[in-house]
């Protein structure tokens, strides 16, 4: 009676089983293909073979082989007239799926926690609502600062750091109208804090120059704040990250440690949202 022998450690692998070297080669080929695809994306999603090869420091023949494979997978296509390569339908669908997952609140939450724990300051995330900047996530340190803002609070467009971020970076007629209406009904002592010749324009320029907005005793007496924008893949503000504290122990200067940490966290979250500076 014959018995089926079990394979031993020294048995020869079958012809169908991929050998370790073959597997390594396949992985390396996949990695190189992804490098080509990512470089095409960095070039705006469209480029010639010559430019791609130059940027990748590879021969055009080698890059062309990988482009052919990417075209077969639908990730790349070629313009018949210009012979340029561009991102294909499958790449677009992958990008759309990634964008649907790009939730600014979820992506900024780890930075919010780090700011609260590292700086021991009250901090929050706000988005632009119908009535103005609205707080949607709020974190307080062990010894919280007493302020009358909480989840759902709507902030000033002109006298809060958060509002100034949206006013400066969101090119939207509705945002401008909210700011102008607020300026028109503001008491004289508040209006006196702004540039009389160009109050809104001056605020916008300051935020753009500093990369953040800072206020001291403007929106709330005894409270200072710093706010930085979360930018999406189009460079538009989709949320703002803000830290605040009692003026006596809170440094709101744009080059201070709080502003630097806030900008760093906002930039990290913006990168996860697809924003690329420059």
Owning domain of residue 193: 102-273
For 266, half-sphere exposure in the C-beta direction (CA atoms, 13 angstrom radius) is 31
**Domain end among 100, 128, 157:** 100
Domain count, the chain: 2
Q: Using an 8 Å Cβ cutoff, are 180 and 144 in contact?
A: no
Same domain, 74 and 111: no
Query: What pLDDT digit, counting tens, does each position of 140-161 carry?
Result: 887 666 666 777 889 999 999 9
- Ranking 11-15, 123-127, 145-149 by mean pLDDT, the lowest is 11-15
Question: Which CA distances in Å does 201 have to 51, 84, 196, 229, 259?
Answer: 41, 43, 11, 18, 22
Model confidence at 8, pLDDT cuts 50, 70, 90, reads very low
Q: For residue 276, list its beta bridge partners.
A: none
Same domain, 64 and 121: no
9 in any annotated domain: no
Cα separation, 85 vs 79, in Å, equals 6
Same domain, 82 and 205: no
10 in any annotated domain: no
CATH of the domain at 54: 1.10.10.10
CA pseudo-torsion sign 175, 177, 182, 188: positive
Predicted local distance difference test score (pLDDT) of residue 11: 47
Predicted local distance difference test score (pLDDT) of residue 134: 93
- Ranking 53-57, 94-98, 168-172, 178-182 by mean pLDDT, the lowest is 94-98
**Domain end among 83, 100, 117:** 100
**Domain end among 100, 115, 141:** 100
At a CB cut-off of 8 Å and minimum separation 6, what does 263 contact? Answer: 211, 212, 228
Quote the crossing angle between the two packed helices 173-185 and 161-169, to the nearest 10°: 140
Same domain, 183 and 172: yes
């Amino acid at each position: 009676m014959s018995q089926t022998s079990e394979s031993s450690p020294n048995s020869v692998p079958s012809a169908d089983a991929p050998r370790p070297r073959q597997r390594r080669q396949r992985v390396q080929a996949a990695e190189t293909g992804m490098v080509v695809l990512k470089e095409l994306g960095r070039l705006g999603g469209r480029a010639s073979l010559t430019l791609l090869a130059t940027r990748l420091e590879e021969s055009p023949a080698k890059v062309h082989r990988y482009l052919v494979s990417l075209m077969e997978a639908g990730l790349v296509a070629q313009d018949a007239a210009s012979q340029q390569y561009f991102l294909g339908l499958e790449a677009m669908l992958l990008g759309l799926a990634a964008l649907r997952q790009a939730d600014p609140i979820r992506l900024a939450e780890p930075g919010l926690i780090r700011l609260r724990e590292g700086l021991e300051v009250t901090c929050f995330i706000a988005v632009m609502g119908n009535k103005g900047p609205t707080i949607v996530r709020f974190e307080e340190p062990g010894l919280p600062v007493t302020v009358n803002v909480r989840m759902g609070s709507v902030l000033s467009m002109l006298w809060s750091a958060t509002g100034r971020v949206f006013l400066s970076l969101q090119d939207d007629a509705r945002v401008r109208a909210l700011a102008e209406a607020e300026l028109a009904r503001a008491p004289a002592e508040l209006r006196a804090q702004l540039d009389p010749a160009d109050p809104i324009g001056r605020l916008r320029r300051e935020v753009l120059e500093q990369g953040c907005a800072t206020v001291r005793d403007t929106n709330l007496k005894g409270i200072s704040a710093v706010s930085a924008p979360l930018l999406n893949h189009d460079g538009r503000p989709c949320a703002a990250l803000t830290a605040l504290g009692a003026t006596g122990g809170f440094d709101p200067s744009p080059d201070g440690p709080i502003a630097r940490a806030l900008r760093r966290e906002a930039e990290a979250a913006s990168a996860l949202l697809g924003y690329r500076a420059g």
